[in-house]
Amino acid sequence: MPTIYKFKKYILNLVFIILLVSCGGGSDSKPTHLIFPEYLAEVNPNLSQDSSEGIWMVHRTIDVTHIAYEDGIKQEMSLQSIENGISILKPYNSETSTLPFCTIQDMFEQFELEVFPTKEGYRQSYSTNPNNISVPSEGNLEITFINNNQLVGRGLRKYTYTNGSRHELITIYGVKISDNTSLNTSHDFVYSSNIETESDSEIDIPAICIALSSLDATHFSDGKKTSDNQVQYAQIFGLGDHNFLGIDIFNTEATSEEIEYQRIGGVYLNGRNDDEWKENILCLLEDTVCLSQDTLDFNIIKNDETGIVFSTLFNTQDGSFLNAEVSLMTNLIINEE
């Protein structure tokens, strides 16, 4: 399974550069009286309850608080990330079936985490990742299955820095929507994807996850709000012959010290070599020349219990581009239409 070494620096930059101003466990008992998000599909009683493997519709929320001190001044950042996605749950790097999450950081970390089976699911440790020793973290994510057709996840993670700390609270809900473990062959969906750059193209990649995400972050310095950031993401990832394959595109609107910005960017991993496509472009909203040189058309067509459909057109001033069309819809909806 690929490691995160060659992308480590870029991943960290991508995670934090979109913010214009930087700044548990569970039990083995089954949860009861849970209210699942409306985004998720209804439970299909015809699916197998003997195995958790299959295609899952997932809703993941990450709430973050970050506190640091710079020259004696307290810097605070609060962040919430919400991911609506479809992921394939099956064994990857261990005997235990695990659920992939659809971000650059997750792709190059989650398959390196230690996995421990539990009575009702599994636990991933955030404290034992040998490839993340430069930023020590601790905590766990625990996934619990309910009749193998629903799941809930609870996680806590803490990063410790020389001048502060970062705490993450993770909440996950999921519903199984197919017993198949391949989007390309499942009869429950109509799936297609087309990714194209100026030098490469991929059709119907063997995706293990597709997601649409949003992120809202606010930064305070000495108790005074200094910036707001709102980010949209579109993501699809699969497994190539030697590496991960797919895209992560983002579009940011932000205000810092009453100045408005736009940041657009993304990365395309071709699954074969080190020649990845990546851009990260910042413009003042009042700078019309900058805004016209690099453009991103970010179009969310569908994002509900019937599937995910999006398209992106990313063009840069040097003539390079990254375009994507991704569609995953249930066969039932297609047939009704």
Q: What is the mean pLDDT of the chain?
A: 86
pLDDT at residue 37, rounded to an integer: 85
Q: Examine the pLDDT at 200 and tell me if it is beyond 80.
A: yes
Residue 33 lies in a domain: no
What percentage of the chain carries pLDDT values higher than 90? 68
Q: What percent of the chain has pLDDT over 70?
A: 85
* Number of domains, the chain: 1
Residue 274 has pLDDT above 80, yes or no: no
pTM of the complete model? 0.86
Segment 126-154 mean pLDDT: 83
Is residue 82 in a domain? yes
Structural contact between residues 225 and 250, judged by C-beta atoms closer than 8 angstroms: no
Q: Could you tell me if residue 280 is inside a domain?
A: yes
Q: Is 42 part of any domain?
A: no
Q: For 70-102, what is each residue's pLDDT tens digit? A: 988 999 999 999 999 999 999 987 789 999 999
- More confident of the two residues 66 and 333: 66
Burial of 146 (0-12, 13-18, 19+ CB in 10 A): buried
Q: Which long-range contacts (CB under 8 A, 24 or more apart) does 134-143 make?
A: 134/8, 135/12, 135/159, 135/161, 136/160, 139/24, 139/168, 140/24, 140/25, 141/170, 141/172, 142/24, 142/25, 142/26, 142/118, 143/98, 143/99, 143/172
- Looking at the domain assignment, is residue 37 inside a domain? no
Q: 17 falls in which pLDDT band (50, 70, 90)?
A: very low
Q: What is the mean pLDDT of residues 99-126?
A: 91
In single-letter form, the type of residue at position 91 comes to: P
Which range has the worst mean pLDDT, 10-14, 103-107, 127-131? 10-14
Q: Is the pLDDT of residue 18 over 70?
A: no
Structural domain including 252 reads: 5-21+47-336
Average pLDDT for 225-237: 95
Interatomic CA distance for residues 226 and 256, integer angstroms: 6
Instruction: Indicate whether 39 belongs to any domain.
Output: no
Q: By mean pLDDT, which of 58-72, 131-145, 241-255, 271-285 is the weakest?
A: 131-145
Tell me the mean pLDDT in the region 28-39.
67
Q: List the structure tokens of 41.
A: 């599909």
Token output for 128: 């034992």
Residue 159 corresponds to which tokens in the numbers above? Answer: 């990063």
Instruction: Please determine, for residue 175, whether its predicted confidence score (pLDDT) is greater than 70.
Output: yes
DSSP state of 183: T
Residue 12 lies in a domain: yes
Within a domain: residue 36? no
